[in-house]
Structure 1
Amino acid sequence: MLVNVTKDYSSKNNGETNSLKEVNITIKKGEFVFVIGDSGAGKSTLLKLLMREISPTKGKVYVNGKNLKRLKHNQVAKHRRNVGMVFQDFRLLKDRSVYENVAFAMQIVEKEPKVIKETVPKMLDIVGLADKEKAFPRELSGGEQQRVALARALVNEPIMILADEPTGNLDPKNSWEIMNLLEEVNKNGTTVVVVTHNIEIVKLMNKRVIELKNGEVAGDWINGVNDENSNFS
């Protein structure tokens, strides 16, 4: 939840437009939400606020009932373990296998080796990569790499998945495979927030859509029907 949130970068980055202005957004537990808007509209800022990578200039950001600005250092680390992140460029460790990339996310939070050994194969099976655990990122297609990234984001059972242009480097077939996986994750109760420029996917998936424009909420609608204030078409 964002309450009267303003994020102003102007003092640091010479008037950078990627900011938010008095934004109020409520995302309920278990929702699937698309965030759309032109470059510089504030989409990446929104994700960074939810991850607690940055704090608002004004206003409050709540996730799971907690005011993120008030979290102490160790609490911030715990919060980030509860939020899985998927990026357009995958961000896999190139010198580690598929298994090792997913396992690394569990090692960071100090899960027991036995738990890791049991959990990682199950997660790779869920994303359809059970036969690729020994492969390295360079040996995978773009779609396969993104599925590894999704497995890594999911392996610690986060309450929320934030996906920043998850289909930006993928062809239509692989794009739909990733979106179908995210939809299945959502059906199991995980909140999913997807930033995207892929309007065709947004239209066809019939989820809630939040449109940002110049740092403000220009539209908020559900089931593919935009409100009268939106420029989405």
Structure 2
Amino acid sequence: MGISGSKKPKFLLAKFAEGFEFEVCMPNYVENTSSSTHCPTNIWCIVKFVHKNTSISVIKEGQEINSFNFDHNCEVTNEQPEELIFTIKFTDDYKKSLRWKVRCKTLEEYSEWIKFLKQSLRSKWIISSKCQICSKSFGFRVRKHHCRKCGKCICDDCSPIRSTLPELAYTEMVRICTECGKKIESNRKSMLPLDTPNFTHRK
């Protein structure tokens, strides 16, 4: 996974070097005079996100206050397009789990960043000469495919499932391996029937 493997929207490419300013709601540690301890309170502040290699550097008032990359359990949640707010859950480079609310300036910026962050979470495709589920060797009769969820190299028989993956910005039906299909089926069974457009199993 990582930023380098994703297609960046044009407006992101043009501004990556200088960074993007956002309002971010994050804990602000203030001194509690009654107990002489530091208690976190959430505040909105202006920070800049700057792309560096495969990570995002977070700059506040000219100083880097944090950084994170997409191999550290990053997740986009709680999308609120009407408020131009979304939440990122991630483990920073100091191994600390954080949850920040991010507020964009425009709907275009909001939509593009949501899409970009989700695309950056996609697994890289694995190279293999055999199906990583049934171990069949690829050749003229056995074609090579890839699961869009986990990135495994698989044959057609081991990838009969098609599903949307909104968490990875796949809004159309894409190929899923049987292993990931079982997990998706288990998660969605209580919410959606399996014959909806969100999940299909080839006969």
TM above 0.5, yes or no, is no
TM-score (norm 2): 0.26
Q: More strand per residue: 1 or 2?
A: 2
- The answer to which structure has the higher helix fraction is 1
Greater RCO between the two (CA within 8 Å, min separation 6)?
1
